Structure 1
Amino acid sequence: MKIALVSEHASPLATTGSVDSGGQNIYVANVARQLARKGHHADVFTRCDRSLLPLVSRVDGARVINVPAGPKRQLPKEKLLPYMEDFARFVVQFFRNEPTRYDVVHANFFMSGLVGLRVKETLGIPLVTTFHALGRVRRLHQGADDGFPDDRFDIEDRLVSDSDSVIAECPQDASDLVSLYQADTARVDLVPCGFDSEEFYPVDKRVARAELGWQQDLFIALQLGRMVPRKGIDTVVRAIGLCNRTLGEEAHLYVVGGNSDEANEIATPEIGRLRGVARECGVSERVNFLGRRSRARLRLYYNAADVFVTTPWYEPFGITPLEAMACSRPVIGADVGGIRYSVAHGETGLLVPPKDPLAVAHGLAMLKRDPQRAQRMGAAGLVRAREMFTWESVADTLAGVYARVAGINVSADTATQANINTRLAAGGASA
């Protein structure tokens, strides 16, 4: 098949870890890579946000089309909606100039969905939409801090109504689509996110710590991801304070992420706020902000930690818990969204209420006191990640969805694999 992935603000060329570069960038890059490996023609359409980028780049067998829409510099995604008309006009013309027709458009995020709708209306190409985050859920949790206009809700309503398939990344996502957007369940497909087994795998903890220069005898929790308030990193910092001062268990926190390679409060204001929380809790010397790190070295950080902790207020999916599980590390995660789906409570880690530092602290203390249990959870997480959440299986399932909406007959093997993946995903909701 010939597949167009539209991702207006999240380019596979971007360095992840900054404010607007995270899970969606990873998702689009890996889906495109796996589709190309399976013999499909995959093109990613993303906004050109640097002046020296060529019109067409290549990444792992896929093309990246850097669409001229708005100024050629990085802009907050909340400022991009006015440029989607120009983006859509360019994409339609690009499609018309291609020697072979695209079979399907897969829009990622609601603004990309606007582009997909224009392509569908103009050229009759079927549309698959993954929202990655729903506006009504975001508004519920962020309130006045939500920088998107109310127009987002109407656009999402239209996408849910007019897309040939809407991809839910976890059971909570599917439930929200039905309850908040009146989605037709017959056109909602459950397809999770994944991890790359060539990128994330177990490494001996002592070896990883030696390479990173970490002390061997410390109990270390890792938090890794975008540095924005909704990720709830302050909950983890407060938990470190409670673990040390109230529960009597010495624990350290290492935080990877930010807009620069050094932990810079000017480049990443959230680091400044979190350092203030650490001072307030009396654990400044036990909380270490490391800045942004390259994807190629992230497995060392996962493997060097005793436990991975992620406590967002809400989470459409959450890829970092999968990466930690793939490195055989137990996960303490907020009992929300996709984390509730990927982490099996009591088996691969612990689910805790969001914004509950004491629950996180008790989880940390328990894992420190019972390292054998922590090891069992990590081993179980590795099995679960490999069975349910690889990018290869994600791409197989998406290819089945693409073929269905495009009316293309797929091989029996591909159809069977897609059905297996969907059943695994459904089973994971109650595991």
Structure 2
Amino acid sequence: MGAPDGDCLGPYRLLSPLGAGGFGEVHLALDTEGRTIAVKILHPHVAADEAALTRLAREVEAMRRVQDPHVAEILDASLSGGRPYLATRYVQGRPLDAVVAGEGPVKGDDLVRLGRGLAEALAAVHAAGVTHRDLKPGNVIMTDDGPVVIDFGIACLHDSATVTTSGVVLGTPGYLAPEILEGGESGPEADIFSFAATLAYAATGRHPYGTGPASAVGYRVVHHEPDLEGVPLWVEPLLRECLSRDPAARPPAGMLLARLGAANPVNPVVRTPAPQPRPAYAGGGDAAGGTARRAAGGLHGVTTREWRPGRHARGSSSPERARERRRAVIHRRWVVGTGLLVSLAAAAAKSPLPEVSLLLLSVYGAVMVIDGGVALFARQDRPRLVVDLAAIGGSVALWAALAAFFSPLTLGLALATVVIVMIVILLGS
């Protein structure tokens, strides 16, 4: 079912493939106004299931009414003809599993923002009468504006008998709710289970039900407790409640927002577990002896505060402070770089042109004094004045050392090399 680059599908021009899954291929495409979108072309065995396409059409119509920044909404769909497809908003970012694998677990306020973004997405979609059924780290795209959940709209295909008999794995082991694995009906409660498993993975960097063959992971989901070691105490009770085997015991998505909004600690605390056997989840063997349970009621001894958008954790800085630090770093680099260059040039000119050598040092020193004086009197920036004065002393000391130990020819060649390297760097950047 491959589609060549530049091919047109309906009103969209396909640019390049983004990936493929059990239900179709995803392509980056352009709409008629030149905007980038994502187009999922359904596989032939999926397109041949009329019952699945009929149900998909109903859910697509419901999803098109959902407008939420944390949902990659469906923009268009064509479920007839030889190549049925869905067109969704293109989300530029990295999947959550790739972010955790490359940068480690998500912590602190970032974890709260992730949880609230996922909960907001589920609340919006559940209100439209749709269930995702395959929420997992790979279906969460991390962007500068927060998480975005993708692959809504093909959820109903998981219940398609044709797809099942085609050998497609129905979801990701360890993130599917136990009622789905046992062949029961899946509703919004199944998404709550997947939400908790996804957030637990983000907080620890480990799959809460381990790895191994799908049958072994599925057995643990149905019969064992999740491995939540390392999950911060402020969110662990909520995740255990969401991972309950009883769907009725799981809180709705709207309640998740309130619970997460009131549970963000100033300093997230991770419980240090007592020495106990842990489930042997890696590989494929089942856990022996079960998981040691931790207290799931209350946050005794943990100081909490309400999280609101725009509030920074203690120790973080505002954008203005960040820009000030950035300017200070650039200033130090400029002072050190020009000091080294002036010292080298003055040392090379000391023997043949002593006046030029002294002139270079004098001009550099005067510029540094002026810069430091302006910083001191205009902005009361004493650290900048200290840097400037230290640069003057350092450049004079370096000039004396270079002139004493190296010949003018050697210093001239070194100066020429430095200048050429700087020019190449500037041109390259």
Per the normalisation by structure 2, the TM-score is 0.22
Larger Rg: 2
Bigger relative contact order, structure 1 or 2, given CA contacts below 8 A and separation 6+?
1
